[in-house]
Amino acid sequence: MKLAFLDDDTLSAAPVAAPPRPLRIALAGYGHVGQALAARLAGDPLYRIVAILVRDPARPRAFAPPVAPTASIDHFLYPEADVLVDVLSCHRTGAALASRCLAMGVHAVSASKRAVASRYEALTGAARAGAATLLYGAAVGGAAPVLETVAAARAAAPVIEVAGILNGTVNYLLDRLARGCGFEAALADARLAGFAEEDPREDLSGADAAAKLRLIAVEAFGNAAAKALAVETETLDAARAAAIAASGERWVQLARLVVAPGGLRATVTLEKARDVRVLPALPDEWNAAAITCADGRVFRCLGRGAGGAPTAEAIVADLVRVRAAVAAGG
């Protein structure tokens, strides 16, 4: 075998590959999740936040924004971005922004289950018109890859049931109730930890889990089935919490999607953990899902379902996919 040696002149003449261009991100929202995402991406040469949209630019933040925030949508959309990341608390604004960006050919990553579930057809239509990608893995399950697991199950065999603990805030509250904490104190702790909004009605009423079930239904059964889906929900209020605490048992908020003789049945109910055999009663803000196929196989996933860092990680997973689409010329 002959060995080839390169002299210094040959080495100096060798072409040097240019570093990859960073993915330019327009970040809508800079609360717990937005700041966690900025912290996660700080110093990463593959990503660059070029614009941040907020209600109040002067409000102090725990993590300094990498660019000056703006309250003007026109100013926010002015920098050339490859992808919009929606972590806004207002789902209507998030859906409108995503629709506008997708139609212009800008990819969109959303952590808002309500924005995507309520405007699914409009958003997917805008994505088709703009030849852009819409991703929303962070909208369901946080760091638990629920939609990805549903997709894997569907590819293996027809799905007949999805059971999930899909709301980290409620799971945190129910865990605290089982440990003897009062409802209001548990809710205050959840807010302090960044798991609960100041107004937690979406979580407590079951509306948050219901919106996630609709997105799961799209993945498992298609948009036509999801469009007609009605979800029965049960509310966790102070009176219900007192009854649960008095039981001395651990409870969970169970979201279920079942193929029934009359069509899909969807429910969000409060159940004793010991009666939910297919899912573990995970602590704190953890989420889990079990997807059962017609051939008897069960696909499972779990992960932290609330808070800035877990949601930021789920967003980064979608950003990796966007980078691949941009690199492919999409």
DSSP symbols for 17-60: PPPPPPEEEEEE--SHHHHHHHHHHTT-TTEEEEEEE-S-TTS-
Query: Residue 293: CA atoms inside 13 Å, Cβ hemisphere, count?
Result: 16
Rg over alpha carbons for the chain, rounded to the nearest Å, is 22
- Rounded to 10 degrees, the C-alpha dihedral 272/276/279/285 comes to -20
Residue limits of CATH 3.40.50.720 in the chain = 23-140+310-327
CATH homologous superfamily of 23-140+310-327 equals NAD(P)-binding Rossmann-like Domain (3.40.50.720)
Give the chain's count of helices (H) and strands (E): 14, 11
| Closest alpha carbon to 164 in 179, 183, 150, 181 | 150
Residue limits of CATH 3.30.360.10 in the chain = 146-304
pLDDT of residue 126: 96
pLDDT of residue 5: 41
The C-alpha angle with vertex 249 and arms to 246 and 254, in degrees rounded to 5, equals 110
pLDDT of residue 254: 97
User: Is-contact 84 109, C-beta < 8 A?
Assistant: yes
pLDDT of residue 193: 85
pLDDT of residue 84: 97
Residue with tokens 């604004």: 93
Q: What is the pLDDT of residues 266-288, one digit of tens each?
A: 999 999 999 998 998 899 999 99
Q: At what angle do helices 146-156 and 207-221 cross, to 10 degrees?
A: 30
| Closest alpha carbon to 140 in 209, 90, 201, 206 | 209
CATH homologous superfamily of 146-304 equals Dihydrodipicolinate Reductase; domain 2 (3.30.360.10)
| Closest alpha carbon to 109 in 131, 136, 82 | 136
Give the pLDDT of the chain (330 residues) as one tens digit per residue.
434 444 555 445 555 566 678 999 999 999 999 999 999 999 999 999 999 999 999 999 999 999 999 999 999 988 889 999 999 989 999 999 999 999 999 999 999 999 999 899 999 999 999 999 999 999 998 889 999 999 999 999 999 999 999 999 999 999 999 999 999 999 999 998 888 888 899 999 999 999 999 999 999 999 888 888 999 999 999 999 999 999 999 999 999 999 988 889 999 999 999 999 899 889 999 999 999 999 999 999 999 988 888 899 999 999 999 998 888 775
